[in-house]
Amino acid sequence: DAVCKGSTVHLSNNPAWWNLSRPANSSRIFYGVMFDAGSTGTRIHVYTFIQKDPEELPVLDNEMFHSIKPGLSAYADTPEMGGYTVRQLLKVAKKTVPRLEWKRTPLVLKATAGLRLLPSEKAQALLEQVQDVFDESPFFVPDDSVSIMNGTNEGILAWVTVNFLTGHLYAETRKTVGILDLGGGSTQITFLPKSKKTIGSSPDDYIARIDMLNSTYELYTHSYLGNGLMAARLAALGALGAEGTGITYFTYHHQHYPVSVPGYVGYKLCYQEVLKVVKGIVHQPYELKDTSVFYAFSYYFDRAVDAGLIDRTQGGMLEVRDFKKRAKEVCNKMSKYHLISPFLCMDMTYITCLLKDGFGFKENTVLQLTKKVNNVETSWALGATFNHFQNLKIYR
Ligand SMILES: Nc1ccn([C@@H]2O[C@H](COP(=O)(O)OP(=O)(O)O)[C@@H](O)[C@H]2O)c(=O)n1
């Protein structure tokens, strides 16, 4: 299957990892299947792990990844069709996991902002359909395998994934990287504060403790529901009213909105409008100045590609000011960029506003834009799999 190409992870910058020789006879190979039911799409991750020592984190040997659009919430009124999309994705797991391993390979699905924002009976109907598909499958279905994940865990688990894949969780230095995730419905920020003041000056529910690899980390983390890129577009478009020129359709949360995209508003006016979605809502952590590097993915990555700031396959390093500079160019030269996406001006301006006036990043903060690290998706899904296998404990 050409779509489902696998990959092997080499963590060459990580001595603890590197020193592991090829699996001896005592090593066990096992698999984990995690579904990410996001607001804009559903994705399957099939992980192959090698466990040498039961006391240590397993080695990730391979990830098989496949995604489809739209997300489950698009089937709010036809939940059985939502179940069908999951059944289609399950074929990837059947192809990847050897038949003999099926009955001990767990299937887990976690839904994010799309289902959080639906009326609960509609969300439940979708989850029940997924549960039926899982129950009919030949795989192992643990208790609580189909659920809506809370936003705090979404941020923490993405932080775990990125720091695991970059080798930071093994290093003695306790140097880690922060993460910025911009989804369609919600957005997450998570980092390990260096200063006690950051923890002291944060609302209690912004701090979470996790145990992993014999270390405890006290993390700053928050998920803003309604501040994902599509949710923010909707809020800002409402604010801009009908002063625009062309009519276009904007589909979000299973609704098609005929919107008049402003022909020319310019960066300043656009910034004023998106600021209303951010101001007074986003908490600014005390310390963001020297928190080394932040990894930014999802829509941060996609829009940086669309705006020509980074290469789609390579990703790259940007500073916050690069988003601002390009947002101005896109908004003030709409004719050049309008063809790429009528929303690029608004999206780039929102990202700039969220980073600067939202979180309070400095203009020279470095953002590492990444889709994959060592060929594995930067997503909460890997961290959620560790959490499931009890290699990671979260306390709140
Ligand atoms: N494994 C993944 C998952 C999401 N994404 C991107 O994340 C963005 C949307 O995230 P989402 O649909 O999960 O949104 P939320 O439900 O988290 O708000 C899109 O840009 C996706 O392409 C990705 O690049 N890789």
Q: Determine the atom of ligand 1 nearest the C-alpha atom of 379.
A: 1
Binding pocket residue ranges, ligand 1, CB within 6 Å: 36, 38-41, 43, 71, 112-114, 183-186, 228, 298-299, 302, 371, 377, 379
The closest of 232, 235, 234 to 251, measured between CA atoms, is 234
The CATH class of 15-148 is alpha beta
Q: Does ipTM come in above 0.90? A: yes
Tell me whether residue 154 is one of the annotated catalytic residues. yes
Dist. CA 70–CA 84, nearest whole Å: 12
Q: How far is the CA of 340 from the centre of ligand 1 (A)?
A: 20
CA distance 342 to 43: 26
Helices (H), the chain: 15-18, 79-96, 113-116, 120-136, 151-165, 196-200, 229-240, 266-278, 299-306, 320-332, 334-337, 344-353, 380-388
Confirm or deny that 96 is annotated as ligand binding. no
Q: Which CATH architecture has domain 151-396?
A: 2-Layer Sandwich (3.30)
Q: Which residues, at least 6 apart from 18, have a Cβ–Cβ distance to it below 8 Å?
A: 11, 12
The Cα–Cα gap between 325 and 289 comes to 20
pLDDT tens for the chain, 396 residues long, are 222 233 323 222 333 333 333 444 578 899 999 999 999 999 999 999 998 887 777 889 999 999 999 999 999 999 999 999 999 999 999 999 999 999 999 999 999 999 999 999 999 999 999 999 999 999 999 999 999 999 999 999 999 999 999 999 877 777 899 999 999 999 999 999 988 999 999 999 999 999 887 789 999 999 999 999 999 998 888 755 444 445 566 777 666 666 666 555 789 999 999 999 999 899 999 988 665 789 999 999 999 999 999 999 999 999 999 999 999 999 988 777 777 778 999 999 999 999 999 999 999 999 999 999 999 999 999 999 999 887 778 886
**DSSP letter at 54?**
T
CA dist 147 and 124 (Å) reads 9
* Most ligand 1 atoms within 8 A of CB, residue of 4, 40, 42, 154 to mutate: 40
- Indicate if 151-396 has the same CATH topology as 15-148: yes
Residue boundaries of the structural domains of the chain: 15-148, 151-396
pTM score: 0.89
